[in-house]
Amino acid sequence: NRSILLLFSFFLLLKCGDKKRYHNDLTPFQKEINDFFKDASVTPLKKRDLKTFRGLDFFVFDSSYVVNAALNRTPDEKSFKMKTTTDRLPEYIKYGTVTFDLFDKSYSLNIYKNLEDINKQGYRDYLFLPFLDDTNGFESYGGGRYIDLDIPKGSNLVIDFNSAYNPYCVYDEKYSCPIVPRNNYLPLEINAG
């Protein structure tokens, strides 16, 4: 019985060690977003949630979800009011479509530009890529996730789904978050971000 207890203790220590090692293996994006959430001056967390916050849950980084995409600009689009989780209706424009291959299949998503933030520092070249996938409501937030991108110089860009993140309204309902357009649904599991 003692040897079984020692063996169980050894496996328990290994498990704890694995968990600690996982936290040391965070990507730069994951470390940056965790640091942001820990900072009481900017965090989207409620005060009570910040007290117990130890870090966000992430999928393990997978380079399969870093894809080269072709950007097809759509310069004649009209601006529109994007629905949000509140009554706020920010003005966006469809900037173009991105087309990419993932696991031997081709996909396209619409990519947007927020016209209200265009003059804010850091947002001039900012593109917004919201998407839905088959992890929503199970391994990820039910309403979809977002990726931030910069306008590329040419017609190609890299989309890293490992940098997908939840809208802030997941953590506090006071935030007004754009609702992912239904046509930005990917019919597969994006186990990244």
Tens-place pLDDT, residues 122-157: 677 899 999 999 999 999 999 999 999 999 999 999
8 pLDDT band (50/70/90 cuts)?
Answer: very low
- How confident is the model over 12-24, as a mean pLDDT? 36
DSSP one-letter code for 60: P
CB 129 within 8 A of CB 159: yes
User: Confidence band (pLDDT; 50, 70, 90) for 119?
Assistant: confident
Strand partners, 130: 146
What separation in angstroms does the CA of 34 have from each of 40, 49, 100, 114, 133? 12, 14, 29, 25, 23
Strand partners, 86: none
pLDDT level of residue 5 (50, 70, 90 thresholds): very low
Q: Is the pLDDT of residue 116 over 80?
A: yes
Give, in order, the Cα–Cα distances in Å from 106 to each of 25, 52, 70, 100. 31, 41, 11, 6
Region at 28 (left for phi over 0; alpha for psi -120 to 50; beta for the rest): alpha
Secondary structure (3-state) at 149? strand
Mean pLDDT of the region 1-16: 36
As a whole number, mean pLDDT of residues 111-117 equals: 92
Q: Kindly report the number of other CB atoms within 10 A of residue 166's CB atom.
A: 18
Please tell me the total number of residues recorded for the chain in this structure: 193
CA distance 86 to 66: 32
The β-bridge relationship of strands 156-160 and 145-150 is unpaired
Confidence of residue 70 (pLDDT cuts 50, 70, 90): very high
Q: Return the pLDDT at 124.
A: 77
pLDDT over 60 at 22, yes or no? no
Q: Which of 139, 138, 129 is nearest to 185 (CA)?
A: 129
pLDDT band at 24 (very low <50, low <70, confident <90, very high): low
